[in-house]
Amino acid sequence: MIREKYYISDFCVIRDKKVFKNGTEVYADSEALSVKDFAKGIYKFLDLKYPKFHKMDELCKLGFLASEVLLKDKEKVDQDTALVLSNQASSLDTDRKHQLSIQDRENFYPSPAVFVYTLPNIIMGEISIKNKMKSENAFFVTDNFDADFITLYSEVLMNTGKATNVICGWVDLDNDKYDVFLAFLSKKGNKELTKEELNKLYKQ
Amino acid sequence: MAELREELKEKLIEQLSLEDVEVSEIGDDDPLFGDGLGLDSIDALELIVLLEKDYGIKLKDPKEGKAIFESISVMADYISKHRTK
C-alpha cells in the first residue's frame, strides 16, 4: 500500500507573550500582566467580533485565538477538518476556580459559566462552532507534546477518509504559564508531515 | 426601581462577561434572550445563581426563569417583589 503524503501547510505558536505564524512573529505584548490581558490584546489585534470569546476561560481563549491565526488567510475551512489536540494540565486552571466556588458550604455558589469549561475538549467545541466544522475531534492529556502520536493519529484520520484536513497541536495552560502550538495538516504544503518536522516546528 | 434596573444591567455585564456591551445600550424592555442581548442557556443558569446569591431568591423550577428573565424591567419587578436580601 502506498503511503499517502501529507503536509504541514501552516502553524501557529503562542508563547512568552508572543504570537508566531509560520515562524514569523505577528503579535507581541510584553506589557501584558495576565493571560487574560494578553489574550484580549490578540483578540483586538485580530479585529475579531465574536462576543462569545469573552465568556471563554483562558485555556479556550488561547486555543481559539491560535486557530484564528492559523485559519486567518484561508478562504474556507472544510467542514470535515478534524481537531486533534493535547496538553499536560487538562483544564486544571479552571477546575481550581470551580473548586474555590464550591468548597465553602456556607457560600456555595458554583458558576455554570465556569463549570462548562472544566473539560479541556471544550476548546475544540468552540473552534468547531466558530468555523462550522462537523468533524472528528479528540483531546489527549500527555506529559509532553507527543509529535509521534499526534502525527500517527492525524494520518489515520486522513487515510481513512474521516477528515480532509487536521488541525493538531498542544494547548496548555496552568497558573498563567501557557504553551500553544497548532498546525494545519493537509494534502498541500511545503513541509512534509513527519513526527520530526512537527516536533521541530513545535520547538521553534 | 430605576436604581435596581441600572444595578441589574451592571451585574449582567459583569457576571455574563458582556465586554462589548455598555449599560446605556441595554434598554429596560429589550429581550435578554434571542434577538436582544443574545444570551444563551448557560447565561440563564448564571442568572438563576445571581438571583439566589445577590437577592436571596431561589427558583424552585428553573423553567420559571423564562418568564422572569424576559427583560430588565420584568426581572427588576420580580426581584423587588420576592427579594429576601
pLDDT in tens, A147-160: 999 999 999 999 99
Higher pLDDT, A51 or A165: A165
CB contact under 8 A, B53 and A113: no
Cell of A157: 484520520
* Total of domains in chain B: 1
CB contact under 8 A, A112 and B46: yes
pLDDT surpasses 60 at A41: yes
Question: Residue B3's domain is classified under what CATH number?
Answer: 1.10.1200.10
> What is the residue-averaged pLDDT of chain B?
92
Higher pLDDT, A107 or B55: B55
pLDDT surpasses 60 at A4: yes
CA distance A62 to A127: 11
Q: What mean pLDDT do residues A105-129 have?
A: 93
**Cα A139 off chain centre by:** 10
- DSSP of B7-62, one letter per residue? HHHHHHHHHTT-TT--GGGS-TTS-SBTTSS-B-HHHHHHHHHHHHHHH----SSG
Q: How confident is the model at residue A1 (pLDDT cuts 50, 70, 90)?
A: low
pLDDT tens for each residue of A63-99: 999 999 999 989 889 999 999 999 999 999 999 999 9
| Residue-level pLDDT at A124 | 98
Q: Enumerate the domain spans of chain A.
A: 7-203
* Chain A neighbors of B17, CB-CB under 8 A: 54-55, 113
* Assembly ipTM: 0.81
How close is the nearest chain B Cα to the Cα of A195, in Å?
40
Beta bridge partners of A18: A15, A28
pLDDT tens for each residue of B23-42: 999 999 999 998 778 888 89
**B64 lies in which domain range?**
1-82
How close is the nearest chain A Cα to the Cα of B45, in Å?
6
Which of A55, A110, A112 lies at the smallest CB-CB distance from B17?
A55
Q: Report the share of chain A in percent with pLDDT over 70.
A: 99
Q: How confident is the model at residue B66 (pLDDT cuts 50, 70, 90)?
A: confident
Q: What mean pLDDT do residues A33-40 have?
A: 96
CATH superfamily for A7-203 is Thiolase/Chalcone synthase (3.40.47.10)
CB contact under 8 A, B49 and A109: yes
| Residue-level pLDDT at B38 | 82
Q: How confident is the model at residue A108 (pLDDT cuts 50, 70, 90)?
A: confident
> What is the residue-averaged pLDDT of chain A?
95
**Cα A42 off chain centre by:** 14
Beta bridge partners of A11: A183
Which of B20, B42, B52 lies at the smallest CB-CB distance from A113?
B42
CB contact under 8 A, A54 and B53: no
CA distance A192 to A186: 10
Mutate to test the interface with B, among A43, A48, A55 (most CBs of B within 10 A): A55
| Residue-level pLDDT at A2 | 61
| Residue-level pLDDT at B19 | 85
